[in-house]
Chains A and B, each alone.
Chain A
Amino acid sequence: SQQGEEDPQALSIQEGENATMNCSYKTSINNLQWYRQNSGRGLVHLILIRSNEREKHSGRLRVTLDTSKKSSSLLITASRAADTASYFCATDRTGANSKLTFGKGITLSVRP
């Protein structure tokens, strides 16, 4: 079964607004990561949060992790048209050298 499930599946917002994307997973994890994919391109790593962390920031990104609920959220503040992309959460069950399991992704559209 899919380890990471994001919601919503699609999100459309106005430039300047905040975008919140959620991810739920089923098994215990070592860390959870968020990636971004522009159409027809590879993925770019955005941020990693470990199982013993609850919140992390990187620029306009804020990610939270609730291991009791097996869920994570990615917040993009002050969105820009250039943030338009698909966003994936990925779970790492055991740490370095283990494979990541990706969710189905969220398509974010930021209207200028």
Chain B
Amino acid sequence: GAVVSQHPSRVICKSGTSVKIECRSLDFQATTMFWYRQFPKQSLMLMATSNEGSKATYEQGVEKDKFLINHASLTLSTLTVTSAHPEDSSFYICSARAVGGYATNEKLFFGSGTQLSVL
């Protein structure tokens, strides 16, 4: 099946620094990737939809200047948390839809997530 690789799996940083999270589709092309945030024992909150070659679409209440998304190729999307603060500490997960080669592109393939801790 399709594999989505997300790195790093865990990052600890100081307040005020920026952190970049990568999401790669390893064996398929993904024109659309999604970024989620998840708090402990909570559901996934969609932050933004990342489209290859165009600007990301952010959900209401998500600061686009705070969470920079770049989808420069059909296999890579990045999320940069700029000037991170303790309240940004969370579990971030990416997902991707496959394009071509699969019977359906309706289901999502997820990365393994990134646990961000801002001190």
Point out residues on A near B: beta carbons under 8 Å. Answer: 2, 30-31, 33, 35, 40-45, 48, 88, 92, 95-97, 99-105, 107
Contact = CB atoms under 8 A, between A and B. Distances in A.
13 contacts: A31-B106, A35-B110, A42-B6, A42-B110, A43-B44, A43-B93, A43-B110, A45-B108, A96-B97, A97-B105, A99-B34, A100-B34, A102-B44
Given A40-B113, A102-B43, A95 B106 contact: yes
Given A41-B112, A42-B93, A96 B46 contact: no
B43 A48 contact: no
B44 A33 contact: no
Given A88-B43, A105-B43, A107-B41, A42 B106 contact: no
B60 interface: no
Contacts, number: 57
Interface string B18-52: 00000000000000101000000111101001000
A101 B49 CA distance: 13
A102 B42 CA distance: 10
A33 B44 CA distance: 14
A107 B113 CA distance: 18
A102 B105 CA distance: 17
B54 interface: no
Given A48-B107, A95-B106, A105-B43, A40 B93 contact: no
